[in-house]
């Protein structure tokens, strides 16, 4: 049963729809206060009363029945207590029935969400600065799909610009095909770095000519470019596989090179394109923003031109209901400009464009990417986490089978969880020791708890039937949190915030471990034992569901 919906439909507040009432219902701080709470503060202006008086009035009118057994008013909240044995039975029955689909929904049925994330640059290795966009976008992809949306993952490749002319020039002067193929993407990157430090004026001119040749369709230049691109995709796809991330489109900047002219023509038709010092701009000063540069004085396009073409292409191709851009907060102004220009062009769907901004990731020594010469490749971070996970597992459980496979699941999970646990907008300092801790707010802790549940079930089995006769406080806390998982998934989608799911996994782990300590499971009387075994199985199932939405596996044993 959806208890929030049940309460909301019987809650008589004419100024709010049942859906709005349901959305406002939340969990009170403790079970003593009730199982659900409704804040009355936003009603004060409409009803012209204090929240305290409103809560008392609403509580007095709410009809008590077999489902909602108690209603009270406390400090501006209406608190509802439901029949807790029924809540437990309903929740466990639903988890048993739905299994790995528990928490899913059809609210997105018939709707499409495009998600632009990762967006790696061709011919450059994956550094730790790409971690957040990749795992945030990957998790949002899973969350929206879990809620029934048609989800389109887009890797908007950085595959356009004079840097590719520089790369071809560097390869022509210093590259040996066999050595580059052997060294892979790092050898390609070394050539580009070398060009930056050793290129002559003649080579700079040569690079511009090579880029022109790429644009004009020259066979040799494009074969070299496609070779660099192929090596890049082979390399990044290996990392994507490890991070459990997928894409439906790899259309990058180059794909839109022949789709920009209609954008420029529409801007001209709308009278939006103005000349400024030889360049073409859209004036956004009336909207509190600097001008959006569309064409440079030499006629060359820019990021904005290609992003406008990409947005229109995605709407025409996918007819999205939402289009998300998972890009660092430094690009806030850029996306505000893009969305405003689309609106001025007459596209009413511009309101459906969302910049999902996030903070930066750095290591404890301050290293992040290529700034100040401190290069931290993501593949090295993953490798180090897997190695450290193996050492820890070997110390804690030397007889464990498949230690290497478990270490990989734990190590990679630690990398992902470390990037997703905090609210996305916060800068993250990545600590190897912290993310790999078996205690505290980590993915390893959630994985270990799921494995502990599995160990209990392996010993006691999953009973065919059980009865709920009474519950200890710690059992009730677990039941209530299990019941809230579907709402947590919806909240994560509404806020574009996978951290809601990550924090839920830690919270559920903490509450289960308190129940594990407080209540005997295998040594309990038969009736209680069956209920507790079923509850333990449900916790393992929901923890696995939560971790899956983050892109993290859950080993059966650790």
Contacts of 76 (CB under 8 A, 6+ apart): 39, 40, 41, 50, 51, 52, 54, 55
334 as an active site residue: the answer is no
Block residue for tokens 């502990």: 452
296 SS3 class:
coil
Q: Sort residue 79 into left (φ over 0), alpha (ψ -120 to 50) or beta.
A: beta
Three-class DSSP category at 351: helix
Q: Is 127 designated active site?
A: yes
Q: How far is CA 313 from CA 303, 316, 397, in A?
A: 15, 5, 53
36-39 and 292-295 beta bridge pairing: unpaired
Catalytic residue among 4, 130, 166, 424: 130
DSSP 256: G
Helices (H) and strands (E) in the chain, counts: 21, 12
Hunting for tokens 């008590």 — which residue is that?
64
DSSP per-residue codes, 429-480:
EE-HHHHT-SSSSSHHHHHHHHHHHHHHHHHH---S--------HHHHHHHH
Q: How far apart are CA 508 and CA 506, in angstroms?
A: 5
DSSP states of 175-233: --HHHHHHHHHHHHHHHHHHHHHH--HHHHHHHHHHHHHHHHT-HHHHHHHHHHHHHHH
Active-site choice (124, 142, 229, 315): 124
User: Which of 5, 98, 127, 340 is flagged as catalytic?
Assistant: 127
Nearest to 253 by CA among 120, 354, 137: 120
10 is catalytic: no
Cα(242)–Cα(226) distance, integer angstroms: 24
Q: What is the DSSP letter of 109?
A: T
Q: For residues 65 and 109, is the Cβ–Cβ distance under 8 A?
A: no
A 10 A CB-CB count for 66 gives 8
Catalytic residues: 124, 127, 130
């Amino acid at each position: 049963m959806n208890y929030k919906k049940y309460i909301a439909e019987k809650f008589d507040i004419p100024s709010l729809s049942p859906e709005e009432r349901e959305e406002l219902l939340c969990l009170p701080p403790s079970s003593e206060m009730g199982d659900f709470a409704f804040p009355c503060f936003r009603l004060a202006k409409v009803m012209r009363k204090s929240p305290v008086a409103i809560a008392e009035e609403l509580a007095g009118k709410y009809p008590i029945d077999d489902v909602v057994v108690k209603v009270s008013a406390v400090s501006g909240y209406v608190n509802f207590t439901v029949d807790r044995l029924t809540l437990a039975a309903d929740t466990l029955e639903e988890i048993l029935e739905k299994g790995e689909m528990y928490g899913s929904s059809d609210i997105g049925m018939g709707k499409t969400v495009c998600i632009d994330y990762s967006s790696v640059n061709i011919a450059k290795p994956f550094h730790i600065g790409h971690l957040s966009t990749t795992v945030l976008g990957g998790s949002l992809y899973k969350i929206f799909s879990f809620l029934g949306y048609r989800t389109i993952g887009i890797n908007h490749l950085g595959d356009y610009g004079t840097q590719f002319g520089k790369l071809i020039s560097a390869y022509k002067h210093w590259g040996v095909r066999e050595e580059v193929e052997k060294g892979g993407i790092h050898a390609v990157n070394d050539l580009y770095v070398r060009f930056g430090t050793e290129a002559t004026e003649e080579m700079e001119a040569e690079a511009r000519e090579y880029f022109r040749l790429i644009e004009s369709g020259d066979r040799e230049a494009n074969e070299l470019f496609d070779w660099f691109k192929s090596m890049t995709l082979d390399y990044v796809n290996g990392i994507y596989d490890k991070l459990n991330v997928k894409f439906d489109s790899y259309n990058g900047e180059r794909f839109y090179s022949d789709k920009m002219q209609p954008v420029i023509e529409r801007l001209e038709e709308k009278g939006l394109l103005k000349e400024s010092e030889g360049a073409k701009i859209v004036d956004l000063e009336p909207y509190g923003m600097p001008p959006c540069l569309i064409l440079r004085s030499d006629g060359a396009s820019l990021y904005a031109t290609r992003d406008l073409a990409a947005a229109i292409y995605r709407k025409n191709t996918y007819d999205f209901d939402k289009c998300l851009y998972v890009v660092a907060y430094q690009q806030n102004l850029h996306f505000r400009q893009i969305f405003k220009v689309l609106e001025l062009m007459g596209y009413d769907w511009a309101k459906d464009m969302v910049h999902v901004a996030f903070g930066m990731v750095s290591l404890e020594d301050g290293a992040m990417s290529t700034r100040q010469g401190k290069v931290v490749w993501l593949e090295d971070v993953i490798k180090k986490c897997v190695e450290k996970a193996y050492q820890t597992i070997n110390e804690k459980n030397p007889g464990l089978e498949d230690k290497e496979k478990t270490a990989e699941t734990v190590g990679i999970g630690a990398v992902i969880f470390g990037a997703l646990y905090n609210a996305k907008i916060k800068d993250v300092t990545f600590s190897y020791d912290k993310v790999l801790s078996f205690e505290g707010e980590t993915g390893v802790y959630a994985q270990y708890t799921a494995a502990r549940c599995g160990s209990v079930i392996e010993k006691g089995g999953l009973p065919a039937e059980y009865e709920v006769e009474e519950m200890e406080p710690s059992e009730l806390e677990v039941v209530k949190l299990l019941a809230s998982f579907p709402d947590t998934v919806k909240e994560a989608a509404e806020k574009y915030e996978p951290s809601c799911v990550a924090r839920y996994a830690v919270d559920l782990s903490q509450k289960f471990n308190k129940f594990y300590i407080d209540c005997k499971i295998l040594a309990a009387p038969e009736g209680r034992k069956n209920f507790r075994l079923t509850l333990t199985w449900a916790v393992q199932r929901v923890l696995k569901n939560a971790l899956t939405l983050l892109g993290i596996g859950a080993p059966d044993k650790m």
